[in-house]
Amino acid sequence: MTPSAQQPLVTTTAGTVRGFWRDGSAAFLGIPFAEPPVGERRFQAPVPHRPWEGVRDALEHGATPQRKALAEVTLIPEPSIAGESTLNVNVFTPSPERAGGAGLPVLVWIHGGGYVAGSPASPWYDGAAFNRDGVVTVSVSYRLGFDGFGWIQDAPRNRGVLDWLLALEWVRDNIAAFGGDPSRVTLSGQSAGGGAVQTLLGMPSAQPLFKRVISLSGPPTAATLADSEALGRKLAELGGVEPTIAGLSTLAEAEVLALQGQISSVAAGGDADPMAGLKAFLGGEALTLGPVVDGELIPFATVDAFAAGIGADKELILGTTDNEFNMILAGAADSMAAVPPAAVLGGLGVNPATIEAYVGSHQDLGTAALVGQFVTDHMFRAPALKLAEVRAGTGAPTWLYRFSWNSPTIGGACHCIDVPFMWDVLGEGHVPAIAGTEPPQGLADELHGSSVAFIAAGQPGWPAYDDANRAVRVYDVPSMVVFDGYSDTRALLAERVA
């Protein structure tokens, strides 16, 4: 980095970028790591960005692939920014005076949003607090929805995953110039981003590009190529075109977004029928517009990759909030009060033995609350436990946590509530909507602090999960470490919803 009284300059492999100073750190926004994925490149693998001459301003967030906010699914402020150059990174780094030189640990963040929405431009992903504590941060964008993950007969599979890989290669080749150590990269993300970093941890080709992983509320990748093909053919049929690059290229972006809403309950956001959406979530259909097991780039489902020992040499923290999607039926408490919960779960395809065990252990919950908790446990909490136990069985270093502090505005420890605590941005203007006007700073100090410790040295401050101690860190006021903190989800470990 070249210090300047006005603006910092950094030379990357493609050219020099100009950022801006902040309090004790520098920000570089919207640096392109790939050519714009438009025209002939729209449905192809990403191509590294061509070199430029002179100095390129990196003073504003770049364009985002997001064209429709998923306000009904994510509570994180993630703006949509128009433009074609949607494959870019934001880098936040301590100033040379504070960093004391190069070689700092690096956090690379992949945003969530159901793989169809989300944005790296969120103020919650500002790296100031991590910079303060000696960590360089990078947030990345990637192609979303059908453009990033939809099956096309003659196009590369998992194009959004290829975007992640190219972004990580950019970090490998450039982060030292920003004061980071390319051999000390930690991947992290929340929701779909949490699933993304799990997917990368289970991919052989990604292994040289990072050292550690922190997955927040990540649903494991399990969708098959057959699932993806069926969805891709359906979208093309609805659009009246062949399921090929030539056919789908005739559809404008707005047309594809509209068709996504017809084939995916997540892409439809709040427009989908609630019960249909629940069944899609429970059956795994909801995230088919996301990474798929293609037998090549992603050879195995995440749980099978971990069982095979892929990524076992890397440290992993994973966990969930206690009540991720309970709010999905919050408005239906009165209307569902007289309906037996077993009837609702049965209608959603849950097998009778699981229903009996689950209802019996949650008798204090009304029907809407119980079904909401079941969705949370089935989609997030039981899979987190399963992944921790599978990794523990291979001897892979793994730490399991729960975020249990209840939102005073939404209720429960809801989806996304842990993000501003991890990033230590409780003063940001959108936080009161999810955490109230007096969120506990001490809890942010704990979660952010354990994240920094893990990113820097691979030790978050509580015992790793294994078959003997089953240690789980519970983030709450007060926080604690408990034994077998996910035991209430064990009945769901083998559950498959029809």
Domain residue limits, the chain: 19-32+56-492
CA 42 to chain centre: 23
User: What is the band of 498 on the pLDDT scale with cuts at 50, 70, 90?
Assistant: very low
Nearest to 191 by CA among 390, 396, 403, 491: 403
- CA 128/CA 131 separation, integer angstroms: 5
Q: 13 vs 26, 31, 177, 186, 318, CA distance in Å? A: 19, 12, 10, 22, 33
| 264 pLDDT above the threshold of 80 | no
- Structure token digits, residue 346: 């049965």
Q: How confident is the model at residue 270 (pLDDT cuts 50, 70, 90)?
A: very low
Backbone angles phi, psi at 457, to 5 degrees: -140, 0
Q: Is the pLDDT of residue 281 over 70?
A: no
Sheet holding 471-475, edge to edge: 20-21, 25-32, 88-94, 136-140, 104-110, 180-190, 212-216, 315-321, 398-403, 471-475, 480-483
Which sequence positions are flagged as catalytic?
191, 324, 415
SS3 category, 425: coil
Range 19-32+56-492 has CATH code 3.30.70.100: no
Using CA atoms, how far residue 131 sits from 104, 128, 134, 189, 427, in Å, is 10, 5, 5, 18, 17
The encoded tokens of residue 25 equal 């750190």
Q: What is the pLDDT of residue 102?
A: 65
195 and 111 in contact (C-beta within 8 Å)? no
For 219, which DSSP code? P
Q: Which amino acid is at 286?
A: A
- Which pair of structure tokens corresponds to residue 402? 């729960």
What phi and psi, each to the nearest 5 degrees, are found at residue 482? -120, 165
Q: What is the dihedral of CA 376, 380, 382, 386, to 10 degrees?
A: 180
Q: How confident is the model at residue 95 (pLDDT cuts 50, 70, 90)?
A: confident
Tell me which of 493 and 196 has the higher pLDDT. 196
- pLDDT class for 262, splitting at 50, 70, 90? confident
